[in-house]
Amino acid sequence: MANISIFGIGYVGVVAAACLARDGHSVIAVDVDQGKIDEINAGRSPIVEEGIDELVREVVAAGRLRATKDYDDAIGNSELTFVCVGTPSAPDGSVGLVYVTDVCKGIGEALAKKDAYHSVVIRSTIVPGSTETACIPVLEETSGKKAGEGFGVGYYPEFLRESTAIADYADPGLIVFGHMDKVTGDILHDLNKDLDWPIHKTDIRTAEMVKYTSNTWRAVKVTFANEIGNIAKASGIDGQTVMEILCSDTKAAMSPYFMRPGFAFGGSCLPKDVRALRHLARETGGSHKLLNAVLESNDEQIARAENLVLASGAKTVGFVGISFKPGTDDLRESPLVALAARLIEKGVEVKVYDPFVQEAFDAGTPGAGRGNDGVPDLKERMVGDLDALIEESGTVLVGNFYREAAPVLEKAVGTRPLVDLTRMRRDLVTSDGYEGICW
């Protein structure tokens, strides 16, 4: 069992303190508000939440939870600190870090008086980079110690929902944390090892980003469901029934396949169906701002790829893939066709390797080149041999992933500029001569 101090007796702090104490840890809650301190020490919760009063009363009576405003007491009698203070929006909409940095200042001053190693873990919601650029400098300056050597640092986001927070603590759905040092990583792992969820250990910035991505994704889902509901109602349909049925589909609708950052969507279904649903919304008076944004953002992803290619300065670009997805010769609304057309218009020579489109042309099928409405003389631009395509190209653009092509393309990295829209390997990130569109 660990000795833990929690700074911030707010919603997250109280729930975390009570649940950790319930699990057998010794917890000291810290706040500047004497009223909250008195409530905790009297065995009462300063927040309203299902089951929290009983839990606080139980763990305080058992001697596993107490509250104070004394930083030296809390740091001196614990080896792990959670920072759980609020981060309200600043007037310009940016994250407000003043409470976090103020607490870090006090923690650092207490660490300066402590010889033993101590881990400081931020749980407040802060934008990526904040731990490194705001919290650590304050901790180092006030403690006189170096992060990762004199004290540990981590970021451990919470995913509690109000009204179900106690249940969520034991069944979080997602466990992720970032850490600078092994000691902090081991402590956080031990705190979660008995929970029935995978533990994702990563770097601090990634953990910070996961928290914001999770919250924003929830907001997007609510907005999307509302837009569908409005359109459905205007069409005489029950939108909640529609969404209930949709959410039963775990193969496609809820699939991680569509949650993988990369290039734009295309094909014979998605673009036209989003446009048609947007048009229906306009006709029936429903809201469609999110649908507008989907199409605008998709187009911007094509423009992003275009800029990456143009920035390489190449006069000839070899496309690996031109169909809207690998495994088909279908070019209908392929974002790669749209990208190629933009480059050709800018005077860039485009050559294409695509085994499935090539097969259709070689077989002389009536549907060869079906859906191509943007690339002139596509058949003449096709190159059947990948090595030849690479040799003839100033820049290689990987638009579709073909497993058999991967080894050849990997060898080409470093020999000429390569723009990757699909990510050939997970360990590849943007570097000299290699540009990943989202990595």
What average pLDDT does range 94-105 have in this prediction?
96
Spatial CA neighbour of 384 closest among 417, 356, 348, 355: 355
Residue 254 predicted with pLDDT over 80: no
As given in the structure block, the two tokens for residue 102 are 């103020």
Give the pTM: 0.85
Distance CA 352, CA 400 (A): 11
CA dihedral 408, 411, 415, 416 (to 10 degrees): 40
Which ranges constitute the DSSP H helices of 23-176? 34-41, 52-61, 71-76, 98-111, 130, 136-143, 165-170
What average pLDDT does range 164-192 have in this prediction?
96
Q: Percentage of residues in the chain with pLDDT exceeding 90? A: 87
Judge whether 131 and 165 are in contact, CB under 8 Å.
Answer: no
Q: To 10 degrees, what angle do helices 335-345 and 289-312 make?
A: 50
- Burial code (b: 16+ CB inside 10 Å, e: under 16) for 384-411 equals eebeebbeebbbbbbbbbbeebeebbee
- Quote the pLDDT of residue 117: 98
Confidence band of 347 (pLDDT split at 50, 70, 90): very high
Element (H, E) at 400: none
Highest mean pLDDT out of 91-95, 120-124, 289-293, 430-434? 120-124
Active-site annotation, residues: 269
- Quote the pLDDT of residue 121: 98
Element (H, E) at 258: none
Of 83-87, 220-224, 241-245, 252-256, the range with the lowest mean pLDDT is: 252-256
Distance CA 233, CA 211 (A): 33
Confidence band of 370 (pLDDT split at 50, 70, 90): confident
CA angle 47, 169, 27 (to 5 degrees): 65
